[in-house]
Amino acid sequence: MPLLMSIKKTASKKTISKKTSGVKSSVESITEDLSAISKYLFGFMGVTATPSTSYNQENDTFVVTVEAGDETGLLIGRKGETLASIQTILGIALKQKVGDWHRVVVNVGDYREKEEDYLKNLASSAAARAKETGEPQSLYNLKPAQRRIVHMFLSEDKEVSTESIGEGEERYLVVTSANADKK
């Protein structure tokens, strides 16, 4: 908790109130707070990183894009685990600062775009196999966010359906051909 308390004290002292200020100034203020928190966190970690913060209105998400040069791999970690941890810390610190939960997404070295492209290719090939064979295709070892990307991507394809099955660590995604009953 000392880190969160330090971040809270170091970041600017603006009070956010959606009732008294307009949405635009609230978003700008939260973006500034998140930027200050991000700079402090990366400085605290001892890495040479340049975070930039923006707001994605379409997804109602605050996005922290980090340029880290040679330390990119260090910040991403194994299978994005360090990146997910940084994202969690920033989300909690922002909640402590402004009082409300806001969705925060951290992207280091275009990792998110590359991961999304990989998942879309995986989903496309699973959908093609399901259509060709008529048998359900299972995709294992996906995190919830990864399953969401596959579900959203394949929701546009009316020839297949997707479903997540199981609980916790055992949860997996199944891609089924919509024409499987007709074969």
Contact between 109 and 68 under an 8 Å Cβ cutoff? The reply is yes
- Cα dihedral across residues 25, 113, 69, 95: positive or negative: positive
Q: CA torsion 62→153→88→53, rounded to 10°?
A: -20
Q: Across residues 117-126, what is the average pLDDT? A: 96
Q: What is the pLDDT of residues 6-57, one digit of tens each?
A: 444 444 333 333 333 444 458 899 999 999 999 999 999 998 889 999 999 8
Pairing of strands 103-108, 61-67: parallel
Q: Would the pLDDT of 3 be above 60?
A: no
Task: Please give the Cα distance from 86 to 38 (Å, whole number).
Answer: 9
Contact between 151 and 113 under an 8 Å Cβ cutoff? The reply is no
Q: Return the SS3 of 5.
A: helix
Using pLDDT thresholds of 50, 70 and 90, give the confidence band for residue 79: confident
Q: In Å, what is the CA distance from 63 to each residue of 58, 87, 92, 101, 107?
A: 12, 10, 15, 14, 7
Task: Please give the Cα distance from 136 to 164 (Å, whole number).
Answer: 12
Backbone angles phi and psi of 177, in degrees to 5? -70, 135
Q: Is 140 left (phi over 0), alpha (psi -120 to 50) or beta?
A: beta
For the question of whether the overall pTM of this predicted structure is more than 0.75, the answer is no
